[in-house]
Amino acid sequence: MHRITALDGLRGLAALTVLVHHSLLLFPALAEPHYSSEPARFGSLEWLAVHTPIHALWEGKAGVYVFFVLSGFVLTLPALTPRGYDWRRYYPRRLLRLYLPVWAAVVFAAATILLVPRSEEVSSLWLDERPRSITFMALVRDLTLVAGNGGLASPLWSLTWEILFSLALPLVIWVAFKFRPAHGVLAALSIAVTTAGGIFHESALMYPPMFLLGVILAMRQEQISRWFSRANRSVWIALLIFGVFAVSVRWLIMAFGAPGFLLGATTGIMLVGATLFVVMALEWSAARRFLQIAPLRTVGRVSFSLYLVHEPIIVAAGFALPRDPLLAAVAAVVATALVTPIFYVAVEKPSIRLARAVGSIRPRVQPEPA
């Protein structure tokens, strides 16, 4: 199966969005709306950054939603080959590919807590919410993840769902095949369930359908290509504008005092926007050309490493420079740019090689007794 390089670029763009998101949360005025339904002061710089489509540039949750849809898509494609798929090889490869970098990331996060004491008083509500010390249970939860993360590195929450989906992938693909004639209904139901999860703040409803949408995209890729084969530039630009508004819709309606349940309901609309970005990366030639530029593809290749190490670095910088969030954010981004390739070469790349080697081992067949 050939590699779709535009998806590397999309993955890189999503990772950069998450990096910017956490860096800006060091600023108290930008962190506060995430903990309150009260809008920022109208006309201020904070209002422009939070309550306009500019928020799409640092909407970290939308970046994670893109990751979830992409995971469903790229993990399903190999399973659709006519010659069949060896699930016995899939499991060791996938679990090693995820867990080895995660374990290293937990050690790294713990090291940042020990090296940079989190005893300073901080103004950012987001920064103040980060753990101040290492506990045994937090370590256990972050190292296992299946029962939820312990918070030493907050982005690990998404890896819980990544691992659970990876374990359930054969069942999800079987369901998607079983209901193949009703994929449209299944997609609509996925968005509806995610919306309900947002309203009731129930993660088990919010996130699994995002992976399912990626599975459906993989199974319907040829049909989707036919649908968009005649779409002109104006159609794609309109879809891009819609996608930008969709992933920032929560913050747009918050400016008008929308109630909490309505803010939660925007989760489904954000998922539509995230899915649309994946479709654009696959089908829109202009989007593919942009996403295939070398810097984005490079970031995309190391995006998992960036995702794992960036938040502990940002938190450490925030506590080291509690009165200068701008300097802390800049220092964190620079440090992340330096640490990410080191983590990739030292941890992620060897884990990929080991996962491939283990996955290529064929079980020894015992000879039949004479």
pLDDT digits (tens, 9 = 90+) for 139-148: 999 999 988 8
Q: Are 94 and 166 spatial neighbours (Cβ–Cβ below 8 Å)?
A: yes
Which pLDDT score, from 0 to 100, does residue 37 have? 76
Q: Are 73 and 218 spatial neighbours (Cβ–Cβ below 8 Å)?
A: yes
Neighbours of 49 (CB within 10 A): 19
Q: Which of 27-36, 60-69, 222-231 has the largest mean confidence?
A: 60-69
pLDDT exceeds 50 at position 252 = yes
Which pLDDT score, from 0 to 100, does residue 366 have? 47
Per the listing, tokens 């079983």 go with: 178
DSSP category for residue 367: P
Neighbours of 29 (CB within 10 A): 18
Write out pLDDT tens, residues 67-118. Answer: 999 999 999 999 988 677 888 889 999 999 999 999 999 999 999 999 999 9
Distance between CA 183 and CA 213 in Å, rounded?
A: 9
CA 305 to each of CA 190, 264, 273, 365: distance values in angstroms, whole numbers, following the listed order = 29, 30, 25, 38
Q: Are 214 and 76 spatial neighbours (Cβ–Cβ below 8 Å)?
A: yes
Dihedral sign for Cα atoms in the order 168, 60, 125, 195: negative
Quick one: what percent of the chain has pLDDT higher than 70? Answer: 97
Write out pLDDT tens, residues 317-335. Answer: 999 999 999 999 999 999 9
CA 26 to each of CA 1, 13, 126: distance values in angstroms, whole numbers, following the listed order = 42, 21, 7
Q: How confident is the model at residue 119 (pLDDT cuts 50, 70, 90)?
A: confident
289 vs 85, higher pLDDT = 289
DSSP category for residue 304: H
Write out pLDDT tens, residues 41-67. Answer: 888 899 999 999 999 999 999 999 999
Q: How confident is the model at residue 367 (pLDDT cuts 50, 70, 90)?
A: very low
Which pLDDT score, from 0 to 100, does residue 1 have? 56
Which pLDDT score, from 0 to 100, does residue 143 have? 94
Distance between CA 350 and CA 43 in Å, rounded?
A: 50
Q: Are 67 and 158 spatial neighbours (Cβ–Cβ below 8 Å)?
A: yes
Neighbours of 39 (CB within 10 A): 18
- Helix (H/G/I), strand (E/B), else coil: 40: coil
Which pLDDT score, from 0 to 100, does residue 225 have? 94
Q: Are 12 and 305 spatial neighbours (Cβ–Cβ below 8 Å)?
A: no
**Mean pLDDT score across all residues of the chain:** 93
pLDDT exceeds 50 at position 369 = no
Q: How confident is the model over 246-275, as a mean pLDDT? A: 95
Helices (H), the chain: 5-24, 28-31, 45-50, 60-76, 87-115, 125-128, 136-144, 156-178, 183-200, 203-206, 208-219, 221-228, 233-247, 249-254, 260-283, 285-291, 294-301, 303-320, 325-343, 349-359
Distance between CA 187 and CA 165 in Å, rounded?
A: 17
**Residues with Cβ within 8 Å of residue 111, at least 6 apart in sequence:** none
Dihedral sign for Cα atoms in the order 44, 130, 270, 332: positive
Write out pLDDT tens, residues 165-207. Answer: 999 999 999 999 999 999 999 999 999 999 999 999 999 999 9
Which pLDDT score, from 0 to 100, does residue 361 have? 73
Which pLDDT score, from 0 to 100, does residue 365 have? 45
Which pLDDT score, from 0 to 100, does residue 57 have? 96
Write out pLDDT tens, residues 148-162. Answer: 888 999 999 999 999
Neighbours of 91 (CB within 10 A): 16
270 vs 368, higher pLDDT = 270
Q: Are 197 and 58 spatial neighbours (Cβ–Cβ below 8 Å)?
A: no
Distance between CA 1 and CA 81 in Å, rounded?
A: 9
Distance between CA 174 and CA 136 in Å, rounded?
A: 38
Neighbours of 290 (CB within 10 A): 16
pLDDT exceeds 70 at position 368 = no
Q: Which tokens belong to 274?
A: 């995230």
The CA-based angle 25-305-343, given to 5 degrees, is: 115
